[in-house]
Amino acid sequence: MFTDETKSAGTGGLGLAIEEPSEAKMTCKDNRDGSCSVEYIPNEPGDYDVSIKFADKHIPGSPFKILI
C-alpha cells in the first residue's frame, strides 16, 4: 500500500500502472484531501514495475522497481 499526494502538484491528472508477472488486484481511493491511497495485492513473487505519472509525466523515480 502507498499514498500518492498531488495537493501542491498543480493542474493535471494522476496515472498509475503496475506491470507484473501476473495480474494483481489494484484499488485507488480518493482521500479528498489531495491524496490517493493505492493498494495492490500480487498473486505471485517476482519483479514488479510501478509507474506513477502526473500530467502525463513520470514522477521522480518512476517507474519504481519492486521485488516481491
Domain boundaries, the chain: 2-67
pLDDT at 62: 94
- Lowest-confidence pick of 8-17, 26-35, 49-58: 8-17
Predicted confidence band of residue 25 (pLDDT cuts 50, 70, 90): confident
Query: Is the four-CA dihedral 40, 68, 21, 50 of positive or negative sign?
Result: positive
Q: What is the pTM of this model?
A: 0.76
Residue 40 vs residues 16, 25, 46, 55: alpha-carbon distances, Å: 11, 5, 14, 22
The residue whose grid cell reads 514495475 is 49
Tell me the average pLDDT across 11-20: 85
Which CATH architecture group holds 2-67? Sandwich (2.60)
Cβ-contact 45, 19 below 8 angstroms: no
